[in-house]
Amino acid sequence: MNRHYNGLKTTLLFGAIWALFLGLGAVIQGGRFIWLFALLGVASTAYTYWNSDKLAIRAMRAYPVTREQQPQMYAIVEELSEKAGQPMPRLYVSPTASPNAFATGRNPQNAAVCCTEGILHLLDKRELRGVLGHELMHVYNRDILTGSVAAGIAGIITSVAQMSLFMGGRQRGGNPILLLAMALLAPLAASVIQLAISRTREYDADQTGAELTQDPLALASALRKLEAGTQRAPLAPEPRVQSAAHMMIASPFRAKDVSSMFATHPPMGERIQRLERMADGRQPGIERY
């Protein structure tokens, strides 16, 4: 059993963000338009989920690669996909020196794995295998669906909250103070919950990825290098990159540019410690080897 109950945490966080969504709808026009907000949320989520691979690949300006172009990356993904009994995803490389990787796609049949040129130069074969195992498990765990739903709901909450500020003056029978409070605080709360979901899924991908590779220390070593590498060569926190940042194995931004509350990833030190406990047999999930 997963000692950290990441699945339960994700469920509870989803419950919180849906409660926030329904609460916002209830205070606007007495809840008469909540069905419309729900439909908008579903439509937004469906579009993001269905096109997640194209959107992320385009954001990082990645190009497809073949076995001949990236033999080591191809061989590792082919081996791990076969071991997991899943289809081989499409492979891409992003032309950036910042070391990172991400996986995207609505299901294993429509998945893509992308590495930056920086990570391919930084990691050795064993470390790269640990990273790619982590990324493949994001797909197999359906984390792209989870992240798309969370982002879609958070986005529509923000849109509805902004709209409610304009509607507030014409609303009858409502509490204007409550409406103003919800309009201002709901987007902030939605963003915090969305990012908490993202951090929880990273812990899960670390654990299940280490189980797939049977080598948690390889991923721990890779994370140490990535922590230093992304600080030496960070990406600018522009909208294009921010849209894909939550999918990456390490935050691509300088630590000082992102507060802990709004971080897309859990602390790197905690992730490394959990992997080391797995290797020592002190955390369920893998036998000591």
Mean pLDDT of all residues in 26-33: 61
Q: How far apart are CA 108 and CA 104, in angstroms?
A: 9
pLDDT at residue 195, as a whole number: 74
- 286/245: higher pLDDT: 245
pLDDT at residue 289, as a whole number: 31
How would residue 29 be classed by pLDDT, with cut points 50, 70 and 90?
Answer: low
Q: Which of 14, 249, 7, 18 is nearest to 119 (CA)?
A: 249
Structure-token pair, residue 158: 């923000």
DSSP letter (8 states) at residue 89: P
pTM of the model: 0.77
**Which pLDDT tens digit goes with each residue over 182-194?**
667 766 776 777 6
Contact 230, 100 (CB under 8 A): yes
CA distances for 14 relative to 51, 84, 91, 137, 196, angstroms: 22, 28, 31, 20, 10
**pLDDT surpassing 80 at residue 46:** no
Q: How far apart are CA 250 and CA 242, in angstroms?
A: 13
Spatial neighbors of 221 by CB under 8 A, at least 6 apart, are: 126, 127, 130
Concerning whether 135 is annotated as a catalytic residue, the answer is: yes
- 83/147: higher pLDDT: 83
pLDDT at residue 85, as a whole number: 96
Calculate the CA dihedral of residues 94, 96, 102, 103 and round it to 10 degrees. -10
**pLDDT surpassing 70 at residue 219:** yes
Most confident stretch, 26-40, 130-144, 213-227: 213-227
**Which pLDDT tens digit goes with each residue over 127-182?**
999 999 999 999 998 887 777 667 766 766 776 676 666 655 455 555 566 666 66
- Mean pLDDT over all residues of the chain? 80
**pLDDT surpassing 50 at residue 285:** yes
Ramachandran angles phi, psi of 94, nearest 5°: -100, 130
How would residue 246 be classed by pLDDT, with cut points 50, 70 and 90?
Answer: confident
pLDDT at residue 2, as a whole number: 45
Spatial neighbors of 191 by CB under 8 A, at least 6 apart, are: 154, 158, 262
pLDDT at residue 214, as a whole number: 96
Quick one: angle between helices 125-140 and 71-84, nearest 10? 50
Q: Which of 151, 149, 157, 59 is nearest to 102 (CA)?
A: 59
How would residue 227 be classed by pLDDT, with cut points 50, 70 and 90?
Answer: very high
pLDDT at residue 105, as a whole number: 83
Q: Which of 260, 269, 254, 190 is nearest to 223 (CA)?
A: 269
How would residue 245 be classed by pLDDT, with cut points 50, 70 and 90?
Answer: confident
Instruction: Check 78, 82, 127, 135 and give the catalytic one.
Output: 135
Longest dimension (CA), the chain: 67
Domain ranges of the chain: 6-280
Label each residue of 224-277 as H, E or C: HHHHHHHHHCCCCCCHHHHHHHCCECCCCCCHHHCCHHHCCCCCHHHHHHHHHH
Q: How far apart are CA 235 and CA 212, in angstroms?
A: 30
Q: Which of 152, 147, 151, 186 is nearest to 39 (CA)?
A: 152
**pLDDT surpassing 70 at residue 261:** no
pLDDT at residue 9, as a whole number: 62
Residues in the chain: 289
